[in-house]
Amino acid sequence: MVNKHQVAGYDAFAAFMKDFDGNGAPINVLFTGAKMENGQSWCVDCVEAAPFIERAVETAAPKDSHFIYVDVGDRPTWKDMNNPFRKDKNTHLSVIPTLIRWKNPQRLEGEQCTKTDLLELFFSEED
């Protein structure tokens, strides 16, 4: 079973990743907009991609891997060009949703996160 984790905000994300040890298993990170009271993200693209990503995590991600959901904040926080997720050399986000393999080149952004074939390839690639 994939090990799932959830963090909200840059400071919590940075602290979590600083101490996180995946024990050699792949670490996949999804950056998405914060959820509103209705349980859906304010980010329409994130809402559209969510079922595709969830299905790929269940069917294609290695069973010992880690999947970290990261809430990048509300719309004004995300749209701030000085948002630390945009500046961090490990994340360097320009669009959400973004799915990355931590400290590796694998990366899917925006509309790519709705493509089943790309998601399966992303999760099947070795580091």
Catalytic sites, residue numbers = 43, 46
pTM: 0.93
Residue with tokens 């669009």: 95
Q: pLDDT tens digit string along 66-117?
A: 999 999 999 999 999 999 999 999 999 999 999 999 989 999 999 999 999 9
Give the integer Cα–Cα distance in Å for 115 and 122: 11
Is domain 3-15+25-124 given the CATH code 2.30.40.10 in the classification? no
Query: How distant, in Å, are the alpha carbons of 10, 21, 30, 97 from that of 45?
Result: 20, 30, 13, 7
Kindly tell me if the per-residue pLDDT of 125 is higher than 80.
no
